Chains A and B, each alone.
Chain A
């Protein structure tokens, strides 16, 4: 029996879809059967990021409405054995699916896959409630910005209320140079505010923009620093102990000294 993990954030634009795509790639690279579910009905993107848009025949709403079988709607990734996508509908909205229907779909998927990753829409309304309905656990994506961290806190509270076990945190788009200068919140600051466990830190990486637009997730290439971070997160999702690599660009002695003082 596989595990259903929702990837959520509250705030939009922090990298939920990019994270879902890359984590899916990284899990499949580990030889795990992985299904990505795009729960952002009406604003579907996950297919585009994965470069699978032109292969969609049926979608999530078709499945819950009984127009097709679940298996027919799944798209197998062309590059990577074991990676599958259940796309969202684009011409419907969030009310086309109920939390109960989502639970049924994820239950069916977990019979067949090791991991089912649900890409949640932004917000805390129906779409979010659908996305978390069948989840065993949650990964929270937050960028080092006050608004993002605040929304993440709200989401963690809602997950607690829904009795989904403590979520783990992915800090996305970190710029170590700015953190060192005191211009950006550090990972420690964010963990201190949110009081949840960290599962990974993804550095800002221009390659993400390039690969996302091209429909080739960065985790596919070994040149991307962000891709490497996603591969580490995948191993931690699976329960491996992976040490947190020092995120800083090689810092001189003074850089280190300042950081220590900065925390006092």
Chain B
């Protein structure tokens, strides 16, 4: 049941959010930074050394290798989604996560990162078992 409550809270939050999503149609290179008071959508790659800070969600239609902070206003309900999710560090709300020190192969598929019980968890954006979108 907590799932349902979680989802409806999300919807409420989105309905209240004033700022439109920021659409970035280019690749972000090292040293380039995007900060926005809403959701951020990138059509392009986010290279290592680039940064995105968004009050809302971050969607990357490309390879995410840089640093992303979603829910930067403190919202742990934000999520990060990328075609290839391979960030150097990930921050969602108050939670900071980094990839394991032992190199793991990143699946060749879109993934979603979100916070569950104070931890960043990553899962396939499209569940392999039934082809549905994974939504927290």
Contact = CB atoms under 8 A, between A and B. Distances in A.
A119 interface: no
Interface size class of A (residues with CB under 8 A): 10 to 19
Contacts of B48: 150, 153, 193
A154 B31 contact: yes
Interface string A144-188: 000000110110111010000000000000000000000000000
A157 B65 CA distance: 15
A150 B30 contact: yes
Contacts of B27: 195
A104 B47 CA distance: 35
Contacts of A156: 29
B45 A157 contact: no
Identify the interface centre among B31, B45, B48, B65: most chain A CB within 10 Å of its CB: B31
B32 interface: yes
B49 interface: yes
Interface string A189-201: 0000101000000
Contacts of A153: 29-31, 47-49
A154 B30 contact: yes
Q: Tell me if A's interface is mostly helix, strand, loop or mixed.
A: helix
Interface string B42-76: 00010111000000000000000100000000000
Contacts of B28: 157
B30 A195 contact: no
A174 B67 CA distance: 29
A150 B30 CA distance: 7
Contacts of B29: 153-154, 156-157, 160
A80 to B, nearest CB: 37
A193 B45 CA distance: 10
B27 to A, nearest CB: 6
Interface string B82-118: 0000000000000000000000000000000000000
Contacts of A158: 31
Contacts of B30: 150-151, 153-154, 157
Contacts of A195: 27, 45
Identify the interface centre among A153, A158, A195: most chain B CB within 10 Å of its CB: A153
Nearest to B32: A157
Interface in B1-60: 27-32, 45, 47-49
A153 B31 CA distance: 9
Contacts of B47: 153, 193
Identify the interface centre among B27, B28, B47, B65: most chain A CB within 10 Å of its CB: B47
B45 A154 contact: no
B84 to A, nearest CB: 11
Contacts of B49: 150, 153-154
Q: Which 4 A-B pairs have the closest CB atoms?
A: A157-B29, A153-B30, A154-B30, A154-B31
19 contacts: A150-B30, A151-B30, A153-B29, A153-B30, A153-B31, A153-B47, A153-B48, A154-B29, A154-B30, A154-B31, A156-B29, A157-B28, A157-B30, A157-B31, A158-B31, A160-B29, A193-B47, A195-B27, A195-B45
Interface of B: 27-32, 45, 47-49, 65
Given A154-B31, A157-B31, 15 more contacts: A150-B30, A150-B48, A150-B49, A151-B30, A153-B29, A153-B31, A153-B47, A153-B48, A154-B29, A154-B30, A158-B31, A160-B29, A193-B47, A193-B48, A195-B27
